[in-house]
Chains A and B, each alone.
Chain A
Amino acid sequence: MTKDSFRRDWVLALALLLFVVPIFLFGPDLPSATGTMMYWPVQSHMAATTYFTQDLYSVPAALQKYLNAVVAIDFNHDGFVDLVALQNYDYKPTPILAFTNDGHGHFTESTSQVLGDIKSINAQACIVADFNRDGLDDLFIVDLGTEREPNYGEGHGYFLFIQKPNGTLVNEASVRLPEFPWLPYGAAAGDIDGDGSIDLMVVSTGGPIYQLLVNNGQGYFSDQTARLPVADKPNWWPNNCRMLDVNNDGYPDIFMGESAGHYPQDFIFLNDGTGHFTFAPDNTLPSHLLGRGSGTTSAQATDLNGDGWMDLVLSVFDNVSGKKMPIQILFNNRNGTFRDVSDRIIGPYLDTTNCGEFDRRVADVNGDGWPDLLGAQNVLGGSFTPRLFINHAGLQFEDVTSAVWGVHAINAGEPPRGEFIDIDNDGDMDVIGVYPDGNHVNNQIYVLVNQTPYVISEGALPYPGIPVLRTPGNGDLVGGFQVSLTWNVVPTAYSYRIQVAEDSGFTRTIFDRRVTTNSFQMTDMIGNTTYHWRLQAINTRGTGSWSLTNYFTAALPVYPPANAQLQRLTINYGFFKVYTNRLTWQANPETQATVINYRIYRKPKNESDSSYSLLAELPAATVTYDDRGLRSTQLYTYRITAFSSQGIESEPATIGN
């Protein structure tokens, strides 16, 4: 080594040291990209490496007004979703904006090329669908118009943007749609008559005025409101709606939500199979979450608990306090009626977080096969923060916002608009929304990119192998209402397609989902039903062959004893006192199985659950048990279970001193 090279090496080493040490001292900078990018790792309840990064896109200064909403639509049919943004400025006509996706989830403003000079006033509902069945996405928008006297409602109407082969969106509402008789506010889409074309339902604000628009198959709509029941309910003001098949007859019914809270619950129009509707019985839906005076501002529909029936996620508004706006979750009772399971939602801001008023707020973001919820938290003075609720097999909806998006609130502004969409075509769900700016200088669109790293291998990756099903065993009788389906990990597979059906030919499929782990929690099983299940492994090469089909039978449900209570009795023998813990319970009326006995387990108070031991096994006719001869210091916790003739033991009812 020469003296010069020696000196040069020392200089390089010193420079390297000066460069590296600050990095170690002050930590690595967060990854950056166009606009602002933030990076948050997640906690254990998400896939260990799931996180979102944020991209921001500014509205060109010349077009700045007040961002109201953003809609994902592939308007140039390149396979990547683009964006249409809507503004609202003092109830004056403002430009509708377009942003083109470059194929990597990055956007450039392209309004003039895509839309031209199209202005809306107060867009409320937006629906993306292929209305004219040409294979291209179209866009339907209802515009409420001016919400201010003396010219209230001025400028209201519809937009129906038909996508053209040259990648433009052309508003053809005037020739394809009739006029709405009042102020349109909410809308829903679905094929009500089974002709393969998307029909529309529009509701108003301020009265029971709605319009059913039936598609002729080419994207031309006629007013078929006569197919709907007459709104003979005084003061009923439905202003939001959603099409869903509540009774699994294959035809979409219509959920009619009312935000004013004039009725204790919402209503449903039942489709008779020909696209004609009648009111469902009043008790089809449970009461509003916050009682009378509260109402529903929007509804999302999906199967949240994997039972094959559509459930509802409602955004509630308390008209009494004017402050509370929680989420209400209704599970389908598998007969077209619903029950409230809102107590399964957990999170820090439940009173002020609902699902906003936009579409596509329910999707599986973490690849576990269960649809998750995109919430909107009312923070301060009308600004909103998006919140993410992870669905744990329909049993719990957990707010994981701080873990996934960080405690640095993403201020989505007002109104709370954003939606799930796969913005970068990587197979997972991203989030889009808007940051409005009342000063018209910094309106931005945000994109939360789901960075779940699905395994992508290079080279000659073989097709994945065939999964081997593990539990439950083939032919097993499974108790309870849920079962964990597990299988052996297939090397190179990054996800699995799981099918469960009521028949071995899989014609009556309960669900068909993609999951990223080698287990799946199936819930809300129906007693005495045999389920068949099979799997395919998936990797970047493609989809492997189906596994063998196994089946298991769900035992008739046996519920924990009802109304379990403990009474502490003091038996005074004169010279001493002895205590009795008297346990009482009732047969659970929901239990369909034949209960042959009850089992009582006991553990000393404050000891771990592993300390439970069987204390007594009692005939089914017995609904009381005295644990006698106890000293004053002997305090216990008890579990009472029901045991069915099929050998299934219920979950316990737990009581204690």
Chain B
Amino acid sequence: MKKAIILVCVVIGFSSSAQAVGLRVGMFFGIRTINDAALKDIYGQGTILNPYLSVEIGKDFGIGVGYELYNRSGTVKPYNESARIKISGPEIFLSYSLNFGIIHPYVHAGYGFYSYEQTIESDYLAGYAVNDKASGFLFAGGVNVKVFKPVEVSLELKYVPLNVRPFEDKVDLGGWRISAGLGLAFGI
């Protein structure tokens, strides 16, 4: 949490010292991986939705917020029990972008505040409810391509390292996301 507070202060610092020059809003849709092998075995690769809003606060810098939603069902062997996992939560980030005409490559660094939940249909798992929160840094890079004003399409690769320990073992919920987005850019 301390990291998040520091990050928010930095973002606010940038905002107060720079003049807003543009606004970007849109939605990413993509796929993500989960590092944990057991979860990967149960759920495989899942899809994410990631709406975002960012503000250009300088020539190359910006700040933004987003929300990532991952919701996936699977089957646990050997008893073929139905399982569902949901990982979601808000994200804040700083961005740095370059301007090459209609192509704007960028990188993000930020922090996410996620909640995770797993439900399994089984009569044998009393005491094993999974419903908790976790936070961590996120890193992303991508490119925005202006199609026609104000519409742009985006392609982004993001990585979130996120370790949790709801029970005895540490579980790596981190993983890669590769997403395509469609958004609107105003004043950029």
Contact = CB atoms under 8 A, between A and B. Distances in A.
Contacts, number: 49
Interface stretch (B4-12, B91-99, B140-148, B167-175): B167-175
A578 B124 CA distance: 9
B188 interface: no
A628 B166 CA distance: 21
A574 B124 contact: no
Interface string A562-577: 0000000101111111
Interface in B21-73: 36, 38-39, 41-42
Interface residues of A, number: 12
A578 B168 CA distance: 11
A571 B169 contact: no
Interface residues of B, number: 25
Contacts of B100: none
Contacts of B124: 578, 628-629
A10 B135 CA distance: 103
Contacts of B83: 573
Interface in B121-169: 122-126, 128, 130, 164, 166-169
A505 B118 CA distance: 75
B13 interface: no
Contacts of B42: 573-574
A578 B125 contact: yes
A572 B39 CA distance: 9
Contacts of B76: 571, 573
A575 B42 CA distance: 11
Contacts of A569: 78
A578 B120 CA distance: 13
A577 to B, nearest CB: 7
A26 to B, nearest CB: 67
B169 A576 contact: yes
A355 B70 CA distance: 80
A584 to B, nearest CB: 14
A463 B164 CA distance: 87
Interface in A607-657: 628-629, 632
B19 to A, nearest CB: 47
B125 A575 contact: no
Contacts of B39: 574-575
B76 to A, nearest CB: 6
B132 to A, nearest CB: 9
Looking at A573, A578, A632, the one whose CB has the most chain B CB atoms below 10 A away is: A573
A576 B128 CA distance: 8
A364 B18 CA distance: 110
A629 B76 CA distance: 13
A293 to B, nearest CB: 49
A166 B74 CA distance: 102
A542 B118 CA distance: 84
B72 to A, nearest CB: 11
Nearest to A626: B79
Contacts of B164: 575
Contacts of B126: 629
Contact of A575 (B79, B122, B171): B171
Given A628-B124, A629-B124, A629-B125, A576 B78 contact: no
A436 B78 CA distance: 73
A569 B76 CA distance: 13
Interface in B71-120: 76, 78-79, 83, 85, 118, 120
Contacts of A628: 79, 124
A625 to B, nearest CB: 14
A22 to B, nearest CB: 72
Nearest to A574: B39
A309 to B, nearest CB: 50
Contacts of A572: 38, 41
A482 to B, nearest CB: 40
B78 A574 contact: no
Given A569-B78, A571-B79, A577 B169 contact: yes
B79 A576 contact: no
A616 to B, nearest CB: 14
Interface in A65-95: none
Contacts of A574: 36, 38-39, 42, 85, 118, 171
A634 to B, nearest CB: 12
A629 B125 CA distance: 6
Contacts of B128: 573, 575-576, 578
A575 B78 contact: no
Interface string A254-288: 00000000000000000000000000000000000
Contacts of B122: 629
Contacts of B171: 574-575
B164 to A, nearest CB: 8
A632 B169 CA distance: 12
Contact of B168 (A573, A576, A629): A576
A628 B76 CA distance: 14
A628 B120 CA distance: 15
A574 B171 CA distance: 7
Nearest to A632: B168
A578 to B, nearest CB: 7
A22 B179 CA distance: 104
Interface in A522-578: 569, 571-578
A573 B130 CA distance: 10
A573 B83 CA distance: 9
14 contacts: A572-B38, A573-B118, A574-B39, A574-B85, A574-B118, A575-B39, A575-B166, A575-B167, A576-B166, A576-B169, A577-B169, A628-B79, A629-B124, A632-B168
Chain A to chain B: the 8 pairs with minimum beta-carbon distance, closest first: A629-B124, A574-B39, A572-B38, A576-B167, A574-B38, A628-B124, A575-B130, A575-B166
Given A573-B120, A578-B125, 9 more contacts: A571-B78, A571-B79, A573-B76, A574-B171, A575-B39, A575-B118, A575-B171, A576-B128, A628-B124
